[in-house]
């Protein structure tokens, strides 16, 4: 019986990376690499290592058998060792797991799993960035009202919105590239990190194992890899989830009935409410915001895992079986859903224009203040003049232009045509178009 939504509702390609079968496969891959390294150093016969390598796979070592042994001995890693050893012929089973402690295998295997998971994470980020850049290019000239503190500010463009988000996703891609060297690390250092069980060639053995697995060897460890590495991985996921939440929240706000400038995709047969047939809820965006909270909460647990006692305790183990798979699977789903929303956004140009005009010219007060300043008026005086004129226009529900046309001080500096032209919102977007073009060129 399925219990968790990550196995059904929010499942995706990331699930396969964290399945029990793949976890067992990675454990066996590390055991095979360990046996090979021992043989290279002459610690065990090459024929023995070859036999272990032949049998260290999930075609031979079945998950069901490992679970059967675990039920008796209550140790999952040792159950794998026994299951592998019993499949090895010619006495080779006696050399399985030679010199290793459980977390030499588990932490190194986790690094292999994280490598595949981070590769998929990277692909998701790149795909979302491309979708954002495509919308940035399509809407670089779509002028809309910018909002600060939830209030109308001055004009901006939808292209710039998408460009800003694309830049943020690019930073996540860069962070991921920089973090790989700290996350994709394995170890063969024994019970407390001294390498005592591996003898005089311990450094060489660890180097050989990691080279074969394509991982970086840890410089120093205790019985486990230090959990700042895993916390950093979940921090990367949390940052990406937060960016998606920000995008989703913007979509939700801009889809409000009284704003309705854009809306997430809504299929022909889609139902918005079980009782209100007319509803068109931004439920995908809301879902993203909901799941981002879970990913962030997992980061808190990962940070607490850093402070293990002495050379290790087990307080990280149980929760990592939950937080690492869930954080990756949910972030993968969040990224996929965000890309789907961005790619299918519906725009309502008439509402965008309506909202741009709805302040009756108040959003152009900054521009007029600067025009008066450039004409010779004191900047602070110009600010006060526009502040007071804006206050009057707001109270009287008149257009700001009408207030300024009647202001004798303003007419000393600005002609009627200059005032008329100043209220063209589309000519007050600064370098927005060029910024978008620069972003597209830099990130494509």
From 317, 334, 354, the end of a domain falls on 354
Confidence check: pLDDT of 260 > 90: yes
Domain check: are 72 and 158 in the same one? no
Confidence check: pLDDT of 256 > 80: yes
Domain check: are 242 and 113 in the same one? yes
φ, ψ of residue 177 in degrees (nearest 5): -60, -40
Residue that the structure tokens 């152009």 belong to:
364
**Contacts of 368-372 spanning 24+ positions with Cβ under 8 A:** 368/400, 368/404, 368/414, 368/419, 368/422, 371/413, 371/414, 371/418, 371/422, 372/410, 372/413, 372/414
Task: State the residue range of the domain holding 37.
Answer: 15-95
From 95, 116, 145, the end of a domain falls on 95
In a domain, 81, yes or no: yes
CATH value at residue 29: 1.10.275.10
CA dist 138 to 18, 50, 241, 348, 440, Å?
Answer: 38, 58, 25, 14, 11
CATH value at residue 301: 1.20.200.10
DSSP string, 330-388: HHHHHHHHHHHHHHT-EE-HHHHHHHHHTTTTGGGHHHHHHHHHHTT--HHHHHHHHHH
Domain check: are 159 and 298 in the same one? yes
Confidence check: pLDDT of 247 > 90: yes
Domain check: are 70 and 171 in the same one? no
**Cβ distance 384 to 372 under 8 Å?**
no
Domain check: are 129 and 200 in the same one? yes
Query: Could you report the per-residue pLDDT of 3-25, keeping only the tens digit for each?
Result: 889 999 999 999 999 999 999 99
Positions marked active-site: 149, 273
For residue 7, give both structure tokens. Answer: 């196995």
**Contacts of 420-425 spanning 24+ positions with Cβ under 8 A:** 422/364, 422/367, 422/368, 422/371, 423/361, 423/364, 425/143, 425/155, 425/356, 425/357, 425/363, 425/364
Confidence check: pLDDT of 275 > 90: no
Q: Confidence class of residue 155 from pLDDT cuts 50, 70 and 90? A: very high
Query: Could you report the per-residue pLDDT of 58-83, keeping only the tens digit for each?
Result: 999 999 999 999 999 999 999 999 99
Cα–Cα dist 54/49, whole Å: 9
Confidence check: pLDDT of 367 > 90: yes
Confidence check: pLDDT of 206 > 90: yes
| 277-296: average pLDDT | 94
- pLDDT for residue 421: 96
Query: Could you report the per-residue pLDDT of 387-398, keeping only the tens digit for each?
Result: 999 999 999 999
From 324, 354, 384, the end of a domain falls on 354
Q: Confidence class of residue 158 from pLDDT cuts 50, 70 and 90? A: very high
In a domain, 332, yes or no: yes
Q: For the chain, what percent of residues have pLDDT higher than 70?
A: 100
- pLDDT for residue 262: 97
- pLDDT for residue 22: 98
Higher pLDDT: 4 or 438? It is 438
- pLDDT for residue 272: 77
Query: Could you report the per-residue pLDDT of 412-431, keeping only the tens digit for each?
Result: 999 999 999 999 999 999 99
Confidence check: pLDDT of 48 > 90: yes
Confidence check: pLDDT of 1 > 80: no
In a domain, 218, yes or no: yes
Query: Could you report the per-residue pLDDT of 368-386, keeping only the tens digit for each?
Result: 999 999 999 999 999 999 9
φ, ψ of residue 297 in degrees (nearest 5): -65, -35
Q: Confidence class of residue 274 from pLDDT cuts 50, 70 and 90? A: confident
Mean pLDDT of the chain: 96
Domain check: are 350 and 370 in the same one? no
| 132-154: average pLDDT | 98
Q: Confidence class of residue 267 from pLDDT cuts 50, 70 and 90? A: confident
Domain check: are 106 and 91 in the same one? no
CA 432 to chain centre: 26
Q: State in Å, rounded, how far the first CA of the chain is from the last one.
A: 45
Confidence check: pLDDT of 273 > 90: no
In a domain, 201, yes or no: yes
Query: Could you report the per-residue pLDDT of 301-349, keeping only the tens digit for each?
Result: 999 999 999 999 999 999 999 999 999 999 999 999 999 999 999 999 9
| 100-124: average pLDDT | 98
Domain check: are 234 and 87 in the same one? no
In a domain, 108, yes or no: yes
Domain check: are 207 and 155 in the same one? yes
In a domain, 440, yes or no: no
Domain count along the chain? 3
3-class DSSP assignment, residue 148: strand
- pLDDT for residue 266: 80
| 401-422: average pLDDT | 95
Domain check: are 226 and 152 in the same one? yes
Confidence check: pLDDT of 214 > 90: yes
């Amino acid at each position: 019986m399925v219990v968790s939504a990550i196995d059904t509702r929010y499942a995706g390609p990331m699930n396969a990376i964290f399945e029990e079968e793949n976890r067992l496969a990675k454990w066996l891959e590390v055991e095979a690499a360990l046996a090979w390294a021992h043989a290279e150093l002459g610690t065990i016969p090459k024929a023995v290592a070859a036999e272990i390598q032949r049998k260290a796979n999930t075609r031979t070592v079945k998950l069901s058998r490992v679970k059967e042994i675990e039920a008796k001995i209550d140790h999952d890693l040792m159950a794998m060792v026994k299951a592998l050893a019993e499949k090895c012929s010619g006495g080779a089973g006696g050399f399985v797991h030679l010199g290793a402690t459980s977390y030499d295998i588990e932490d190194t295997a986790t690094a292999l799993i994280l490598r595949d998971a981070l590769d998929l994470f990277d692909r998701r980020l790149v795909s979302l960035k491309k979708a954002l850049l495509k919308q940035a290019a399509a809407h670089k000239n779509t002028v809309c009202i910018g909002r600060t503190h939830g209030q109308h500010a001055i004009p901006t463009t939808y292209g710039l919105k998408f460009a800003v988000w694309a830049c943020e996703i690019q930073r996540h891609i860069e962070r991921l590239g920089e973090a790989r060297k700290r996350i994709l690390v394995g170890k063969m250092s024994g019970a407390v990190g001294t390498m005592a069980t591996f003898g005089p060639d311990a450094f060489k053995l660890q180097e050989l194992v990691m080279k074969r697995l394509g991982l970086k060897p840890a410089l120093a460890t205790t019985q486990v890899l230090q959990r700042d590495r895993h916390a950093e991985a979940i921090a990367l996921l949390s940052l990406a989830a937060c960016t998606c939440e920000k995008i989703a929240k913007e979509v939700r706000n801009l889809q409000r009935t009284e704003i309705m400038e854009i809306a997430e995709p809504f299929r022909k047969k889609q139902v918005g409410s079980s009782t209100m047939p007319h509803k068109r809820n931004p439920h995908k965006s809301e879902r993203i915001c909901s799941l981002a909270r879970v990913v962030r909460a997992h980061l808190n647990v990962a940070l607490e895992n850093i402070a293990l006692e002495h050379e290790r305790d087990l307080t990280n183990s149980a929760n990592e079986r939950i937080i690492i798979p869930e954080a990756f699977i949910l972030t993968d789903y969040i990224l996929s859903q965000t890309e789907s929303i961005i790619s299918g956004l519906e725009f309502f140009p008439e509402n965008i224009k309506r909202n741009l005009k709805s302040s009756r010219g108040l959003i152009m007060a900054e521009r007029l203040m600067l025009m008066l300043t450039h004409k010779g008026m004191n900047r602070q005086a110009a600010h006060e003049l526009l502040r007071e004129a804006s206050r009057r226009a707001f109270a009287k529900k008149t257009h700001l232009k009408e207030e300024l046309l009647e202001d004798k001080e303003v007419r000393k500096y600005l002609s009627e045509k200059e005032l008329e032209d100043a209220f063209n919102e589309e000519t007050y977007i600064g370098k927005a178009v060029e910024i978008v073009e620069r972003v597209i060129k830099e990130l494509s």
